[in-house]
Amino acid sequence: MSVSPGYLAFMALIPWVALPVSAAQSSPKVAQAATDVSQDSPKTAADASDLEVIQVIGTRLNLQQKALEVPRSMTIVTDKYIQDTQASQLSDVLIQTPSISVSDNDRPLMGDISIRGFGNERINLQVDGVTYKQYSDGSNNSSYISPLDLDPSIVKAVEITRGADGVATGSGAIGGQIKVVTKGAWDYTSGNAGSGVLLRAGMGDADDMRRGGVSAYHASEALAVVLHANRRTFGDVEVNPRDAEGSLRGQADKLANQGQSDDLRLKVNLESRLGRFDSDTFYTESEIGELPFGNNPRWLGQALTETETATRLSQSFGYQYQGDTPWLNLNAKAYYQAYEKERDQLGKIVLGPSEYPFSSLATFKDTSFGLSLTNSIAHDSGDFRGQALMFTNIERSEFDDKAMDRLTDRSSTYYGTSQGDTLAAGLSHEADYSTWLSTEAGMRFDAFSNSSDNYPEFGENSDQQWSVNLGMTLRPTDWLRLYSRYNESFRGANLRELYKKDEWVCHRPSKACYSEPQPDLKPENSRNIEVGMGLVFNDLAFADQVLVKLNWFDTEVENYIDTAPYMYKLVDGQKVAASPAEATHRDYSSKNIGMLYSKGIEFEMTYQYASWDVFANYSRVRMDVEGVPNFYLGTIEAERQPYTRAPQDKINLGVSWQMFDELRLSWTASLGKDMQRLPELYLENDMDAKGYQIHNLYLTYQAPWLASLELRAGVENLLDETYSMWPDDEDTSLPGRNVKLALSYHF
């Protein structure tokens, strides 16, 4: 993205003209904690108390007050909501936030997450500060298992930011980012000294889920250690098949499935005179089986199944040092991560009199190493307060894939062995002027280079990109917030888009079809504008607190990358576009094919009164695309048309009632609207997604005779609705009515 020197100079001056950040109603310590839930556990009880003030509003922290103070769409989900809803997967936590959708999740441990219609590697996923990738080569996923396959029972909070944030994350965060923070020992002791063991177990009947886990912790004034160990197993999934009218109540069908996930996490925090040291070790292994060929329902009746196993090992070390001067507040992190996937195909496909046997094993391994260094400088001069953040980081990624056909004893590779290096540096600043104005500004420079060991003749991919961010919040009154934000971000092509090579014979008359490396792919560039308003009412006659936020956004992405065909014939050695009858070749490589547009509105509200907590949100996203692959004609259609990955218009509701000290009743609902804003081809084939209403009921009981024991029960999809969330899922359905039970005991 081209940026003029004058523009950069203007950006650099903004932090020192507009000074910083504490929310009008919050202490600086609370404001800092609220804007970054990725910080580790507080050491002292006083710090823990401050965090509690801004993190917990009732059962569901859907919109807390600090989220109104920043000019961006942000939702924070706390562990209280996760526990009350007995979430067995993190996707269960995400789907009740605005503009979030999860596709291909008809089986547990699976699911592709998207924000405002942007999925795969167009959003950033982080767990305890380490990035988790959604592996794809454009529009095709390289892994069935969700990257967020850890057990939600150990999660402290989930921060969901909608909208591009390239200054914070660099390449990839075009749609937004999701930060997951797991619990440390001080989270169990409220910052005090203490030791304990938490045992937990649960079950669900719709997917035959069984879960068990233990968290053992020890905390002193200076040292905190916690070990989490969890296992979840899943069986066949009960679904409601569709009838001619589109819905048939009653669980009358089962989707074959076998799944298991084990995870182990060790967190160590040490406070000393030299600063704070943090270590986070995480290992998870997940497996799903009984999948049809290509995980496509079309092949469900065939005697061929796939099994996929994924393992992840992650180790990070952090160091924080706060000097005696406001000019020195150092934060350093180093991390290593290795992710391995195996996909085993075994069986045969029968088509008429012909049989096609399969016996193959496909694997890939992705490793990454990273180092980041950040220093913040705070200044406070009466009504002028500010904090500037200077940062730099380096990262190296290595990817390798192999495939073995056991029938022919032949090995091959599709993506080969490749590597990428990134160096980034930037500056950001947040500021308050008195109580009526807050600003945020930042810019970031990324330089990256990618290469392949298998296909060196195609050359390297290297580029440099700038990301910028400007935001402002006005508070003309105690109860009104007005804000706006402008952001430029990018996504560089990943190693799988850049380097993939294959050849095969396809179509009639037969053609030479292939894909080949594309090191000249340009990065996707996005521009995002957001404006909105917020309302804050406290201590009313009929409410303790009411918070409302309304947001409008408009995002454009140029140089959109996708797998697209190009059909041609050779004339005097030159490629000339040709019709299906005349063409001799089809090129299925990744390409920069056009533009993506995403615009819409998001509404969020929370209400508190006595023992009642209520949340509501609504999202409406309209997406268009210029550049749609036509795989029959082998062309790219340039006209603008609806994009099929846009989420349904949706309303989410929730009520929590603390009936008495020991008993809490919660109800949540999701109401999806018919999705008919689709390309003509989809509508002609009745591939729209119907509207639905999903109601869930939960009960939490804490025994008065044994305070350490908590019992939870729930019924999800109470009305046993038949539904799907994507227009191309017309032959599938998500699970029917699901009864859940859980208990935990704290020693």
- What is the spatial distance between Cα 119 and Cα 560, in angstroms, rounded to a whole number? 13
684-724 per-position pLDDT tens digit: 766 667 788 999 999 999 888 887 899 999 999 998 887 77
Structure confidence at residue 559 (pLDDT): 93
Q: What is the mean pLDDT of the chain?
A: 84
Residue 526 belongs to some domain of the structure: no
What angle (nearest 5°) sits at the alpha carbon of residue 740, between those of residues 734 and 745?
A: 145
Residue 433 belongs to some domain of the structure: yes
- Domains of the chain: total: 1
**Local structure of residue 120 (DSSP, 8 states):** G
Residue 371 belongs to some domain of the structure: yes
598-641 per-position pLDDT tens digit: 999 999 999 999 999 999 999 999 999 998 777 777 778 888 98
What angle (nearest 5°) sits at the alpha carbon of residue 96, between those of residues 104 and 120?
A: 40
Residue 78 belongs to some domain of the structure: yes
Residues contacting 47, CB < 8 A, separation 6+: 29, 191
What angle (nearest 5°) sits at the alpha carbon of residue 86, between those of residues 718 and 209?
A: 80
Q: Following CA atoms 398, 123, 82, 605 in sequence, which dihedral angle do they give, to the nearest 10 degrees?
A: 170
Structure confidence at residue 678 (pLDDT): 78
**Residue 535 — φ and ψ, nearest 5°?**
-125, 135
Structure confidence at residue 139 (pLDDT): 58
Cβ atoms 152, 82 nearer than 8 A: yes
The residue type at 686: D
SS (H, E, C) 36-96: CCCCCCCCCHHHHHHHHHHHCCCCCCCCCHHHHHCCCEEEEEEHHHHHHCCCCCHHHHHCC
Better-scored residue on pLDDT, 205 or 61: 205
Q: Which helix (H) or strand (E) holds 490?
A: strand 480-491
237-269 per-position pLDDT tens digit: 887 765 544 444 444 578 888 999 999 999 999
399-450 per-position pLDDT tens digit: 999 999 999 999 999 999 999 999 999 999 999 888 899 999 999 999 999 9
Cβ atoms 536, 481 nearer than 8 A: yes
- What is the spatial distance between Cα 261 and Cα 218, in angstroms, rounded to a whole number? 26
Q: Which residues of 203-217 are buried (b: 16+ CB within 10 A; e: fewer)?
A: bbbbbbbbbbbebbb
pLDDT band at 352 (very low <50, low <70, confident <90, very high): confident
Cβ atoms 442, 458 nearer than 8 A: no
Structure confidence at residue 17 (pLDDT): 35
Structure confidence at residue 309 (pLDDT): 96
SS (H, E, C) 326-358: CCCEEEEEEEEEEEEEEEEEEEEEEECCEEEEE
Structure confidence at residue 543 (pLDDT): 94
Structural domain containing residue 492: 5-521+531-746
**CATH code of the domain in which 385 resides:** 2.40.170.20
176-223 per-position pLDDT tens digit: 999 999 999 999 998 899 999 999 999 999 899 999 999 999 999 999
Better-scored residue on pLDDT, 678 or 325: 325
pLDDT(154) > 90: yes
Cβ atoms 338, 367 nearer than 8 A: yes
pLDDT(297) > 80: no
Cβ atoms 428, 441 nearer than 8 A: yes
- What is the spatial distance between Cα 554 and Cα 595, in angstroms, rounded to a whole number? 13
- What is the spatial distance between Cα 644 and Cα 104, in angstroms, rounded to a whole number? 14
pLDDT band at 664 (very low <50, low <70, confident <90, very high): very high
Residue 74 belongs to some domain of the structure: yes
Residue 346 belongs to some domain of the structure: yes
Q: Which residues of 612-631 are buried (b: 16+ CB within 10 A; e: fewer)?
A: ebbbbbbbbbbbbbbbbbee
- What is the spatial distance between Cα 34 and Cα 253, in angstroms, rounded to a whole number? 45
pLDDT band at 472 (very low <50, low <70, confident <90, very high): very high
- What is the spatial distance between Cα 329 and Cα 530, in angstroms, rounded to a whole number? 31
Paired tokens of 382: 């009466």
Q: Parallel, antiparallel, or unpaired for β 511-515 and 585-587?
A: parallel
Residues contacting 482, CB < 8 A, separation 6+: 473, 474, 475, 476, 532, 533
pLDDT(115) > 70: yes
